[in-house]
Amino acid sequence: MVDCEMNSADSGEPALFANAEWRVLPDGVEHRQTGYFIDRATIDRRRDGSLWEWPLHLAEKRWCAPRSLHEAFVVALERFGIERDADLARSFAIGFGLRPSMGGAASQDGFVALGEIVRPQRPVSRKRPAKPEIRAASRRDQGDRQRVAAGMNG
């Protein structure tokens, strides 16, 4: 389970950094439209000791644009004195996808969110298997049946 708070967007706190979607505040990172808040104390949380929790968790949110999140997240780490590592890039790649051809529709910034791959937008149409062909019995089949029937009666 991930701890988060819902703050009112643009609450008047002075931002250390802001882009179109996110604000880095002294106590955490806030999504400007939804008020979704990542507390500073939990920003470096990991899954199984390696992958970063927040990129993976936020990849499930349809409203989360990966590029603006990545930009704000990296700035927050720098401002909070938290070191980045290769697992951060891996976490974004696993969460948001590497390229548009991974399945699902690519967003305008070129990523494919994990949620789009796991939960496709459109139902997949499936072809029904063709009905087996019913063929008329040939003379040979009829003769075989008559011989079998004659042998069983005798």
β-partners of residue 31 are: 22
- For residue 121, the model assigns a pLDDT of 54
- For residue 60, the model assigns a pLDDT of 92
- For residue 101, the model assigns a pLDDT of 43
- Asked whether the predicted pLDDT for residue 124 surpasses 60, the reply is no
Boundaries of every domain in the chain: 5-149
Tens digits of residue pLDDT in 55-84: 999 999 989 999 999 999 999 999 999 999
| CA–CA dist 76, 17 (Å, integer) | 8
* pTM for this entry: 0.60
Closest CA to 13 of 33, 36, 29: 29
CA dihedral (37, 39, 42, 44) positive or negative = positive
- For residue 49, the model assigns a pLDDT of 83
Structure tokens at 32: 């400007």
- Asked whether the predicted pLDDT for residue 103 surpasses 70, the reply is no
Q: What is the dihedral of CA 66, 71, 73, 76, to 10 degrees?
A: -170
Mean pLDDT, residues 98-121 taken together: 53
| CA–CA dist 52, 45 (Å, integer) | 6
Q: Are 45 and 54 in contact (CB under 8 A)?
A: yes
Tens digits of residue pLDDT in 1-60: 344 444 444 556 789 999 999 999 999 999 999 999 999 999 999 998 899 999 999 999
- For residue 102, the model assigns a pLDDT of 43
| CA–CA dist 27, 45 (Å, integer) | 15
DSSP 101-131: GGSS---TTS---HHHHHS-SSPPP-PPPPP
- For residue 12, the model assigns a pLDDT of 67
CA Rg value for the chain: 29
Q: Are 59 and 114 in contact (CB under 8 A)?
A: yes
Q: At what angle do helices 86-96 and 66-80 cross, to 10 degrees?
A: 160
Number of neighbours of residue 77 by Cβ within 10 angstroms: 18
